[in-house]
């Protein structure tokens, strides 16, 4: 996944915090451009963890 604003790889952005949820983890990341994104990480089966992103900016 890449930043929707600047295209920076989200794997290389700063992790602000990670919170466990009933479905996995919610991770907040801040990109080099200042955009804050929310990742939802759910433990996957054979396919590995599934990551979904959302823009946290209002
Ligand atoms: Zn960015």
What's the CA-to-centroid distance between 32 and ligand 1, angstroms?
Answer: 6
pLDDT at 56: 67
Q: Give residue limits of the domains in the chain.
A: 10-52
pLDDT tens readout for residues 3-57: 989 999 989 999 999 999 998 999 999 999 999 999 988 887 666 667 777 776 6
What's the CA-to-centroid distance between 17 and ligand 1, angstroms?
Answer: 17
What's the CA-to-centroid distance between 46 and ligand 1, angstroms?
Answer: 31
Contacts of 41 (CB under 8 A, 6+ apart): 24, 25, 26, 27, 49, 50, 51
Q: Tell me which H or E stretch contains 51.
A: strand 50-55
pTM, two decimal places: 0.71
Give exposure, 20-32, as e/b (b: 16+ Cβ within 10 Å). Answer: eeeebeebbbebe
């Amino acid at each position: 996944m890449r930043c929707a604003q600047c295209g920076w790889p989200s794997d290389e952005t700063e992790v602000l915090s990670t919170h466990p949820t009933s479905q996995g983890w919610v991770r907040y990341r801040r990109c080099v451009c200042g955009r804050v994104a929310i990742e939802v990480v759910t433990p996957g089966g054979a396919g590995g963890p599934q990551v979904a992103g959302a823009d946290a900016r209002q």
